[in-house]
Amino acid sequence: MKIDKFFLQTQTKFAKSLAIWAQELDVEVIDFHDVNLEQIDQTDGLLIFTENQTIEREAAELRDLFDLKQRPIQKIDINGTLVVGISNFTFWLERNNCKKILVVGSDHLLENPNLERFLSNIKLK
């Protein structure tokens, strides 16, 4: 599995943290400014990081747009079981051949130590 690009809303703390992680893994980061269909067309899928299955309003709006465009969507609950979350994510990537992914999550996820646990166990190359 190889991801080529992460689209991130780099004005958020969550995205800035993921941008650093992506650079360590040699994945290109593209700034995703506004929610528009043109930028969604440049992506292969949407990855939503959640905590206890709670999805923020903006992520829910993106989910609806990706659903409308029939693009694959995956959620990772960082408080869920690590092995299950990683396995589901890996299977989703392979099944949908996602190489360019929009990644979203709330800034408050940075306070949860489980985020780092998930990120350190996700293998992108």
The CATH number for 9's domain is: 3.40.50.450
Task: Count structural domains, the chain.
Answer: 1
H-helix or E-strand containing 50?
strand 45-50
CB 9 within 8 A of CB 44: no
- Which helix (H) or strand (E) segment is 96 a member of? helix 82-96
Q: How far are the Cα atoms of 35, 54, 80, 116 from residue 75, in angstroms, in the given order? A: 18, 10, 11, 16
- How many of the other CB atoms lie within 10 Å of CB of 90? 14
Are 107 and 12 in contact by the 8 Å Cβ rule? The answer is: yes
Place of tokens 């969507």: 73
pLDDT tens, N- to C-terminus, the chain (125 residues)? 578 999 998 789 999 999 999 988 889 999 887 666 777 888 999 999 999 888 888 889 999 999 988 999 999 999 999 999 999 999 999 999 999 999 999 999 999 999 999 999 887 65
Domain of 68, in residue numbers: 5-121
Question: What's the one-letter identity of residue 45?
Answer: G
